Amino acid sequence: MTNDVSNSNALYERAKALIPGGIYGHYGYYVRETGPKFFSKSDGSHFWDVDDNEYIDYMCAYGPMILGYNHPRVDEAALAQLKAGNTVSLASPVMVDLAETLIDMVTAVDWALFSKNGGDGTALAALVARAATGRKKLVKITNGYHGVAAWMQAEGSPGTTLSDSAEVIEIPWNDITALQKVIDQYPNDIAGFISSPYDHTVFSDNTLPAEGYWQEIETLCRKNGIVIIVDEVRTGFRIHLNGANVEYGFTPDLICFGKAIGNGYPLAALTGSDALKQAAQDVYFTGTQFFNAAPMAAARATLLELQEIDGANQMIDYGNRLKQGMVDIASSHGYNLNISGVPAMPYFRLTNVRRRTHAAWIDECVKRGSYMLANHNNFISTAHSDADLKRTFEIVDEAFTAMGPASAQPESTTASA
């Protein structure tokens, strides 16, 4: 590690001249002045930036990388399919094989439709819920992210109109009473309830479902004819390989997958119950690239591999060990480190110092070769190794040493705060 990111910065300047924002969207949002901005190569759980600094990658490309970069089984499947044909005038048999593999694995669902991005699936889910119920409104969780379509963006976002979100109602996470109130206010007008399995909002501690929450949601939705849409685009295969709903003990009607399903090859899926199959068939849903066969072959290999190696539990185990070790190291420097969310998607926050100090500590970790984000959940993959864990602990310790003790930070509170 040289800490030098001058090649990244030079590229960023060139990009800004030609590409709005230079680096846009979520990648752009998390650009840090002192951090790397462009990669040169990746392998396993690591990537290298264009200045040749090597990082243990705890963002996993914001989720897609679940088995490690350049995973041989996945790449071989994709390359073989590429050679045989990728984007052709007919569908590929691998689409059927993939559907069978996915439906066998995700126990609550009976069919799958494939697309490219998670947002394709969540948008389709909304259409299916409306088509099936003949109702307009959708209930979502406050600040819950489901993609960039206008109806999913916050009211007043640039380029959207008030009518885009007119039929979307937001309620707080873990709040059954709020859902009951909305149902009372709009009886027979709510088509669907869309939510991630747990609250992984950015810029705040992530919150798991309260005991019995999903069961109560299920009861209320069933009673009132509301379609339950679980957005597993981010969580997919990192909580439970059979669906996060299995972990939390409920049965949804539609589940959206994306990100990790193809270990980085572009693919997303909307899956659903038999009861909604006809509605899914009635809705017009397509895209020029939706039938690319190589990403489907990659996804099938990814899912088979995850099952064979018990991937979710591997990531959960690593996440638990990472959490314990990091919390202890933080504590030895006087810092309270809160790690929230599920083990394979840890959200870090130093609770006894200012947010700025927390971000500075993450920057110190990044500079030393552990790529993490301060205000977004991070991700574990099955490629993260014991050597990565050991090195991460060293980096975390060195980063705290460089920061100095918590008591020396501006506005720090006591370690028990």
Neighbours of 75 (CB within 10 A): 16
Largest distance between two CA atoms of the chain: 65
Nearer residue to ligand PLP within complex by CB, 233 or 372 = 233
Q: How far is the CB of 115 from ligand PLP (least distance, A)?
A: 9
Tell me if 128 sits within 8 A of 227, measured CB to CB.
yes
Token representation of residue 336 = 């309270």
Q: How far is the CB of 17 from ligand PLP (least distance, A)?
A: 26
When CB distances to ligand PLP are compared, the closest residue is 118
Q: How far is the CB of 327 from ligand PLP (least distance, A)?
A: 25
Nearer residue to ligand PLP within complex by CB, 11 or 23 = 23
Helix 311-332 to helix 386-403 angle (10° resolution) is 30
Quickly list H helices, 30-88: 72-84
Q: CA–CA separation, 365 vs 213, rounded Å?
A: 36
Q: How far is the CB of 231 from ligand PLP (least distance, A)?
A: 5
Sheet architecture: strand order including 137-141: 111-115, 268-272, 254-257, 227-231, 190-195, 137-141, 168-171
Quickly list H helices, 210-354: 213-223, 244-248, 277-282, 293-308, 311-332
Q: How far is the CB of 164 from ligand PLP (least distance, A)?
A: 17
Nearer residue to ligand PLP within complex by CB, 68 or 118 = 118
Q: CA–CA separation, 333 vs 211, rounded Å?
A: 34
Q: How far is the CB of 372 from ligand PLP (least distance, A)?
A: 17
Query: Which helix (H) or strand (E) is 403 found in, with range?
Result: helix 386-403
Q: How far is the CB of 376 from ligand PLP (least distance, A)?
A: 9
Nearer residue to ligand PLP within complex by CB, 126 or 221 = 126
Positions touching ligand PLP (CB under 6 A) are 117-119, 122, 145-147, 196, 231, 233-234, 258
Nearer residue to ligand PLP within complex by CB, 26 or 391 = 26
CA dihedral 192, 193, 194, 197 (to 10 degrees): -140
Nearer residue to ligand PLP within complex by CB, 31 or 327 = 31
Nearer residue to ligand PLP within complex by CB, 36 or 147 = 147
Neighbours of 15 (CB within 10 A): 17
